[in-house]
């Protein structure tokens, strides 16, 4: 007898609705799965066989053929286990379905346990677009699944419970979806929250008050976060580059609904554990410099999202930037420019969102001590220092708006200076600057280009002359000039000014790349 | 610019005898011939002199090389006198002259394309100071103003590539004072002391000459290419004794140093660790009978060890730099306009806005990081950063590795303001006696 069970798999970040067709026919006992499954899908046969027997059912000694439709779509992962098992039970008439069709998503253990899989949120959304209103998932994934509007979610712990749910036995009360996500067409948030969401303070995140001195870098960080600009922190070891970067989560405002949904989907697809509500907190990713190309941009056999995508709508912090592989760094160019990354593998092209803000830190030279006092501490030759700086290629350099060097602080500065501002004070200024920016712009300043940038700056005659002068002084390329204007726009936002004025431009010019600054200083 | 240069080169090569040049400058064909001979590998000054003696001119040598059997005739050149070996031009070198002469048009076109002026030692424009040293380079390749090599006063300011911050500042101050005394500053375009001297000269509006250790087409270090452009734009020159495409090597730099000292009335070594190349320049200066000055340093400073050792060893011949006014006096450069410098720097400061002048004063007081400048001036960070941008634009401040130091005419203020400002400085940030400059 033929049984058809709706299920879903994960394809990049998208859920794909799959029809699991199970034919249990008389003949020589056998178990075949067809329909472009990967290794995990083929191994499902063994898990399903074990789970059925150990859950107290009989694995039918007949010819079993499982077809996963649509056939041309490559299926990955273990999300289809539960649907295949139920299909066999329905096909061998050990279970009779009642009521509307019911979607099943879950991995099986040999003991019949139902386990959650990555990507519940997009997969449930995909099933829901097929007008299937009831979905069975693992108990631990219920919270995540019910973010999708209009779906009745049933959490089950075992194959036996799943069978009960399919029989229509409501012993396990279905959890009604929280109306968070509509599923008409593209996945979009159901309705904007009335109140501004507030993020709970994080214990693990350092506060800006812990960073003493370094006013130049603190100021640059505030501008970077307010305008979504790329930031490079350079300096010898131990001056607080990493500490400063790690305070960023305490400065970032909460995400709006659309961004929070996008972040939640990425987190779900990347298997970041149970997701109980929309993720309002912007992600902060800090991969180690040994990571591979595929780990950065995404890929692998399952086409999993990489770090650039997992930092979508958040921060990608690259500590020791010069130590990353050249290829890995060059791969950042496309996402920095376009906000997305295209991965092409044999026969498959996948586009992942990757609108992240780049924060980088590096030493000034291979030994790390160039420019420190006493100077004899640095043992690198000038050529080595120059080559080290060149590990960050020109195109990547052009895409980082703010550059600061953090010097070692004299002890007097660390001990005697006034208490620095805390994160709350700075975050409040950032919120105001962002609100001002949102009045007349549809994107963060860090992504302003061309005519949008010119329009946003509203340069007066005098400011325009000064901008030209500053750009010529550092022989700025077109990109360098735009960087000057972009950063000045954010400085003006922080100052509460509608137009970009001369002092904003002058401060902005201070954050040009070290290389340009060395060139202006002529002699290094 | 390249396009024009290339077209010019093609035009010239279409008139291989250099007829067009000859109309304007009768010496041009001979100069080109010298350039060809200078490009011959292995042809040294003695062989060169013997060829000139025997054939009468470089043109004649090149013409001979182009004739059939030319190599044999070149190899038959007699020695200048009996003290030299009997065959000054070995067969291998004669062959090299012939093959180089065949490339004559390419060599000349290359020089024109790179805008290089060749100066032969027999030309009047060849700097007299250099012509007077033992075995001057018979050909100089010059980019920029040839006249800058022969100005009445010229002083070399040289030192280690791995300079300390104070060393750079000293180098810049000496150069600035030399500009005020209307002297040309000669140095080697290297990192560190050399670069600081060139840069300060350019910023102070003076003339500076860079002698490089390779050919012009291999100019380096690459980060100093802009500095080189600035030197040329301000009326200075870049000089090499090597053909344009010669790669610099270990041996070319010590040879180059004799030109640095030879182009100068005196050589000042600012910082030199033991076995520094700058000490070779100092030795050349002594040998050429020029003044030799060394800036002493702490006996604990690695970067000054060579200066101190040299001062001890050559205490009779060399001079110690005890202060910049004394140095200028010791050089015999009585300041042509004592008021000029003060007026210039005073104007530079007066012209500044409120925040800029406060930051400028704090810089002169030796406050280096932005935090220190903020603490000293009571201006917000944003204002201090904007002021630093503008001071940098005016050539009054330089930032490196997050520390800032005075530059240009502000350097002249160091003595005037330092005492004054330190007394006024509040708080623990800049306690007097604690060196704050990097």
Using a CB-CB distance cutoff of 8 angstroms, which residues of chain B are in contact with residue A216? 369-371, 381, 385, 402
| Residue A407 with chain B: CB contacts under 8 Å | 368-369, 401-403
**A477: contact with B, CB 8 A cutoff:** no
Work out the angle at residue B407's Cα, subtended by the Cα atoms of residues B216 and A216, and round it to the nearest 5 degrees.
Answer: 110
| List of chain A residues whose C-beta atoms are within 8 Å of the C-beta of residue B303 | 375-376
Q: Do A214 and B371 touch (CB under 8 A)?
A: yes
Q: Kindly determine whether residue B191 and residue A524, on different chains, have CB atoms separated by under 8 Å.
A: yes
Domain range for B390:
338-424
Nearest to A11, CA basis, from A338, A340, A313, A301: A301
Reduced 3-state DSSP string for A40-59: HHHHHHHHHHHHHHHCCCCC
**Residue B176: what pLDDT?**
92
Domain co-membership, B316 together with B344:
no
Q: Would you call B162 and A381 a contact, using CB atoms and an 8 Å cutoff? A: yes
Pick A510's closest partner by Cβ from B161, B221, B385. Answer: B385
Q: Do B159 and B90 sit in the same domain of this protein? A: no
**Is residue B198 scored above 90 in pLDDT?**
yes
Is the N-terminal amide bond of A319 cis, ω within 30° of 0?
A: no
**B220 at A interface, C-beta within 8 A:** no
Tell me what pLDDT residue A199 has. Answer: 61
User: Which of A216, A374, A520 is facing B381, going by the closest CB pair?
Assistant: A216
Catalogue all structural domains in chain A, each as residue range(s) with its CATH number: 2-189 (3.30.230.10), 208-410 (3.40.50.300), 448-520 (1.10.8)
B399 to chain A, closest Cα gap in Å: 8
A368 near B CB under 8 A: no
Q: How far apart are CA A261 and CA A266, in angstroms?
A: 9
Judge: B221–A219 Cβ closer than 8 Å, yes or no.
no
- Judged by CB atoms closer than 8 Å, whether chains meet at B369 and A235 is answered as no
Residue A101 φ/ψ, nearest 5 degrees: -60, 150
Same domain, B163 and B270: yes
Structural domain count, chain B: 3
Predicted local confidence at residue B372, as pLDDT: 84
The number of residues in chain B equals 438
Inter-chain touch B381–A219, beta carbons under 8 Å: yes
Q: What is the pLDDT of residues B6-55, one digit of tens each?
A: 333 333 333 344 444 445 678 888 899 999 988 888 887 788 888 888 88
The sign of the dihedral angle between the CA atoms of B293, B299, B305, B311 is positive
pLDDT at B432: 37
In a domain, B198, yes or no: yes
One domain for residues B322 and B346? no
- Which of B257, B409, B266 has its CA nearest to residue B328? B266
Q: Is residue B118 part of a domain?
A: no
Of B269, B303, B330, the one marking the end of a domain is B330
**What are B307's two structure tokens?**
């200066």
Q: Do B183 and B301 lie in a common domain? A: yes
Give which of B20, B11, B36, B18 is closest to B107, Cα–Cα: B36
Chain A residue closest in CA terms to B385: A507
Supply the angle between the helices B381-393 and A502-510 in degrees, to the nearest 10: 80
Residues B307 and B175 in one domain: yes
Distance from CA of A520 to the nearest CA of B (A): 8
CA-based nearest residue to B3, from B88, B113, B78: B113
Give B 176-195 residues with CB within 8 A of chain A.
191-192, 194-195
The CA–CA distances, whole Å, from B61 to B15, B16, B43, B77, B100 equal: 19, 16, 13, 10, 12
List per-residue pLDDT tens for chain A, 524 residues long: 889 999 999 888 888 899 999 999 998 999 999 887 788 788 889 999 999 999 999 999 999 999 998 888 888 888 999 999 999 999 999 988 887 889 999 999 999 999 999 889 889 888 888 888 889 999 888 888 888 877 888 888 899 888 888 887 665 555 544 444 444 334 444 444 444 555 666 667 888 888 888 888 999 999 999 999 999 999 888 888 999 999 998 888 888 877 888 888 888 888 887 777 778 889 999 999 999 888 898 887 777 889 999 999 999 999 999 899 989 998 898 898 888 898 887 767 888 899 999 999 998 888 888 777 655 577 777 778 878 888 888 888 888 999 998 888 777 666 666 678 888 889 999 999 998 888 888 888 888 888 888 888 888 888 888 888 888 776 556 677 888 899 999 999 999 888 898 899 989 988 888 654 544 444 44
Residue B348, pLDDT above cutoff 60: no
Model confidence at B211: pLDDT above 80: yes
Within a domain: residue B171? yes
| Cβ-based contacts of B302 with chain A (< 8 Å) | 376
pLDDT at B418 over 90: no
Q: Are residues B150 and B27 in the same domain?
A: no
Supply the mean pLDDT for chain A. 83
Interchain proximity B195–A524, CB inside 8 Å: yes
For residue A429, which residues of chain B lie inside 8 Å, CB to CB? none
| Residue B99 sits in the same domain as residue B174 | no
Residues B349, B320 within the same domain: no
Residue B438 inside a domain? The answer is: no
Q: Which residues contact B238 (CB under 8 A, 6 or more apart)?
A: B142, B143, B144, B189, B209, B210, B211, B212, B216, B219, B228, B231, B232
Domain assignment present for residue B131? The answer is no
C-beta separation of A321 from A232 below 8 A: yes
B313 CB within 8 Å of a chain A CB: no
**A522 in contact with chain B, both atoms CB, cutoff 8 A:** yes
CATH code of the domain in which B402 resides:
1.10.10.10
Phi-psi region of B241 (alpha: psi -120 to 50; beta: other; left: phi over 0): alpha
Could you tell me the CATH number of the domain that includes residue B237? 3.40.50.450
Residues of B in contact with A372 (CB under 8 A): 401
Q: Answer whether residue B155 is part of any domain.
A: yes
B123 assigned to some structural domain: no
Q: Is residue B139 part of a domain?
A: no
Burial (0-12, 13-18, 19+ Cβ within 10 Å), A120 = buried
Answer whether A219 sits within 8 Å of B199, measured CB to CB: no
Overall average pLDDT of the B230-257 stretch = 90
Residue B162 contacts A, CB cutoff 8 Å = yes
Reported as half-sphere exposure (CB side, CA atoms, 13 A), residue A112 has a value of 15
In total, chain A counts a number of residues equal to 524
Q: Which residue of A has its CA nearest to B386?
A: A507
Q: How far is CA A279 from CA A266, A284, B137, in A?
A: 10, 12, 74
Question: Is residue B391 over pLDDT 70?
Answer: yes
Same domain for B258 and B178, yes or no, is yes
Last-in-domain residue among B64, B90, B113? B113
Both B47 and B107 in one domain: the answer is yes
Mean pLDDT over the full length of chain B: 81
Q: Is A176 left (phi over 0), alpha (psi -120 to 50) or beta?
A: beta
Contact between B402 and A216 using a beta-carbon 8 Å cutoff:
yes
Among B97, B113, B129, give the residue marking a domain's end: B113
- Do the interacting molecules here have an ipTM over 0.90? no
Band (pLDDT 50/70/90 cuts) for residue B398 is: confident
Report the distance separating Cα B61 and Cα B70, nearest Å.
9
Span A110-162, pLDDT tens digits: 999 999 998 898 898 888 888 888 899 998 888 888 888 778 888 888 998 88
DSSP tag of B97:
H
Q: Distance (Å) from the C-alpha of residue B390 to the closest C-alpha of chain A?
A: 7
pLDDT at B416 over 70: no
Tell me, yes or no, whether B239 and B356 share the same domain: no
């Amino acid at each position: 007898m033929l049984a058809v069970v709706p299920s879903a798999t994960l394809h990049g970040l998208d859920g794909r609705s799959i029809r699991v067709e199970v034919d249990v026919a008389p003949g020589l006992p056998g178990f075949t799965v067809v329909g472009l499954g990967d290794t995990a899908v083929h191994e499902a046969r063994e898990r399903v066989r074990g789970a059925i027997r150990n859950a107290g059912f009989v694995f039918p000694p007949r010819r079993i053929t499982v077809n996963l439709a649509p056939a041309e779509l490559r299926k990955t992962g273990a999300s289809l286990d539960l649907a295949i098992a139920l299909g066999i039970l329905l096909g061998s008439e050990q279970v009779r379905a009642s009521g509307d069709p019911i979607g099943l998503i879950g991995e099986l253990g040999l003991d019949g346990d139902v386990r959650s899989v990555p990507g519940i949120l997009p997969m449930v959304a995909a099933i829901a677009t097929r007008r299937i209103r009831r979905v069975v998932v693992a108990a631990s994934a219920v919270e995540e699944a019910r973010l999708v509007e209009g779906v009745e979610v049933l959490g089950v712990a075992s194959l036996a419970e799943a069978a009960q749910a399919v029989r229509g036995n409501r012993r396990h009360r279905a959890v009604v979806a929280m109306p968070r996500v509509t599923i008409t067409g593209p996945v979009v948030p159901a309705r904007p929250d009335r109140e501004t969401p507030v993020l709970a303070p994080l214990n693990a995140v350092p506060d800006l008050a812990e960073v003493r001195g370094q006013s130049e870098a603190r100021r640059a960080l505030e501008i970077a976060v307010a305008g979504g600009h790329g930031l490079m922190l350079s300096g010898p070891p131990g001056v607080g580059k990493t500490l400063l970067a790690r305070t960023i989560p305490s400065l970032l405002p909460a995400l709006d609904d659309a961004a929070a949904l996008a972040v939640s989907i990425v987190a779900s697809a990347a298997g970041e554990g149970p997701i109980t509500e929309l993720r309002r907190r912007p992600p902060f990713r800090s991969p180690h410099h040994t990571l591979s190309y595929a780990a950065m941009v995404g890929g692998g056999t399952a086409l999993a999202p990489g770090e650039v995508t997992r930092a979508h709508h958040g921060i990608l912090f690259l500590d020791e930037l010069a130590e990353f592989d050249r290829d890995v760094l060059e791969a950042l160019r496309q996402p920095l420019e376009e906000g997305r990354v295209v991965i092409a593998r044999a026969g498959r092209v996948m586009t992942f969102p990757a609108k992240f803000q780049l924060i980088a830190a590096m030493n000034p030279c291979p030994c790390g001590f160039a420019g420190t006092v006493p100077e004899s501490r640095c043992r690198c030759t000038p050529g080595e220092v120059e080559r080290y700086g060149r590990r960050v290629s020109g195109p990547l350099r052009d895409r980082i708006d703010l550059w600061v060097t953090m010097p070692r602080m004299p002890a007097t500065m660390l001990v005697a200076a006034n208490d620095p501002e805390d994160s709350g004070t700075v975050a409040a200024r950032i919120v105001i600057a962002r609100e001002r920016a949102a009045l007349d712009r549809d994107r963060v300043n860090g992504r302003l280009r061309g005519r949008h940038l010119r329009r946003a700056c509203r340069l007066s005659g005098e400011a325009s002359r000064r901008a030209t002068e500053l750009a010529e002084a550092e022989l700025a390329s077109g990109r360098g000039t735009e960087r000057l204007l972009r950063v000045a726009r954010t400085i003006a936002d922080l100052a509460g000014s509608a137009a970009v004025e001369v002092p904003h431009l002058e401060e902005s010019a201070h954050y040009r790349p070290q290389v340009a600054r060395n060139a202006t200083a002529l002699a290094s | 610019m390249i396009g024009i240069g290339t077209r010019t080169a093609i035009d010239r090569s279409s008139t291989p005898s250099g007829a067009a040049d000859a109309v304007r400058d009768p010496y041009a064909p001979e100069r080109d011939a010298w350039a060809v001979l200078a490009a011959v590998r292995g042809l040294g000054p003695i062989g060169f002199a013997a060829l000139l003696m025997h054939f009468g001119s470089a043109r004649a040598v090149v013409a001979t090389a182009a004739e059939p059997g030319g190599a044999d005739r070149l190899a038959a050149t007699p020695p200048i006198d009996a003290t030299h070996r009997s065959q000054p031009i070995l067969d291998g070198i004669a062959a090299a002259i012939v093959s180089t002469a065949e490339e004559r048009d390419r060599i000349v076109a290359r020089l024109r394309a790179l805008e290089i002026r060749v100066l032969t030692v027999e030309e009047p424009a060849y700097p007299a100071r250099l012509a007077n040293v033992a075995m001057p380079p018979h050909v100089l390749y010059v980019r920029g103003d040839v006249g800058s090599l022969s100005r009445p006063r010229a002083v070399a300011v040289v030192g280690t590539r791995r300079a300390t911050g104070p060393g750079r500042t000293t180098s810049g101050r000496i150069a600035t004072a030399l500009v005020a005394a209307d002297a040309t500053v000669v140095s080697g375009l290297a990192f560190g002391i050399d670069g600081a001297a060139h840069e300060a000269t350019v910023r102070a509006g003076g003339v500076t000459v860079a002698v490089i250790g390779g050919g012009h087409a291999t100019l380096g270090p690459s980060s100093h290419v802009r500095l080189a452009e600035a030197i040329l734009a301000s009326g200075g020159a870049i000089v090499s004794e090597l053909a344009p495409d010669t790669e610099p090597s270990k041996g070319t730099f010590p040879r180059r140093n004799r030109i640095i000292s030879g182009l100068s009335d005196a050589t000042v070594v600012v910082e030199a660790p033991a076995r520094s190349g700058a000490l070779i320049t100092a030795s050349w200066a002594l040998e050429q009978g020029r003044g030799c000055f060394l800036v002493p340093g702490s006996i604990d400073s690695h970067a000054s060890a060579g200066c101190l050792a040299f001062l001890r060893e050559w205490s009779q011949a060399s001079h110690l730099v005890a202060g910049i006014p004394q140095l200028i006096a010791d050089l015999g450069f009585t300041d042509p306009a004592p008021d000029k410098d003060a007026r210039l720097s005073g104007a530079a400061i007066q012209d500044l806005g409120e925040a800029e002048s406060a930051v400028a004063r704090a810089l002169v007081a030796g406050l280096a990081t932005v935090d220190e400048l903020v603490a000293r001036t009571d201006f917000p960070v944003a204002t201090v950063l904007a002021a630093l941008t503008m001071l940098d634009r005016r050539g009054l401040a330089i930032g490196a590795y997050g520390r800032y130091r005075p530059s240009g005419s502000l350097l002249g203020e160091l003595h005037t303001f330092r005492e004054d400002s330190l007394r006024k400085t509040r708080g623990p940030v800049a306690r007097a006696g604690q060196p704050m400059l990097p």
